[in-house]
Amino acid sequence: MRLPSSSTAAAGLAAAVVLALGADPAVLVLLAAWRGLALLAPGRDGAGEGPWIRMALAFALAWRAPGWPAGALVAALLLEVAVARLAALAAARTGTALPGPDLYSLILAGGRASDAIAALAVAAMLLLPERLPLIASALAGLTAMGALARASVAVAVLRAARDEA
């Protein structure tokens, strides 16, 4: 997992800062720029910068609308980062290749589209503020389920590699 360093990441981080400051129209424009730049980036096929921009958006949301839904979203994203790091460390130790983000599963379907889903969710929370708790908690639940599904896939692959040895 690498830290973001592109203009795509700059647009995403700017969206998070502006979200924390409460300028909703600017957030919507920056979210569109973030995802548009990701689609135009050569050789990336719309792939995201990892969970870093989503984490910044979740922290900005928690700053702006504190409460359990935003806290659950931050916790789910922290779980996602922790699972990815632990799985990568375990795979590196055993020399096993883990499946990438393009797994064919309902829970893991967010793979490459997870940043776009996050941008759409943030836009929906801004446009429908009365639905913010529902949208944030649903996104948190899906993120946590995806992280746990990835952890179980990693455990299964590592066990299979250990059993073959």
Query: What are the tens digits of pLDDT across the range 5-59?
Result: 578 888 889 999 999 999 999 999 999 998 888 888 766 554 556 678 888 999 9
Its pTM stands at 0.80
Type and span of the H or E element at 113: none
Per-residue pLDDT, 111: 61
Tell me the percentage of the chain whose pLDDT exceeds 70. 82
Reported as a pLDDT band with limits 50, 70 and 90, residue 103 is low
Report the b/e string of 42-61 with b at 16+ CB within 10 A: eeeeebbbbbbbbbbbbbbb
Check residues 130 and 110 and name the one with the higher pLDDT: 130
Per-residue pLDDT, 3: 47
The mean pLDDT of 74-95, rounded to a whole number, is 87
pLDDT at residue 160 tops 70: yes
Per-residue pLDDT, 83: 87
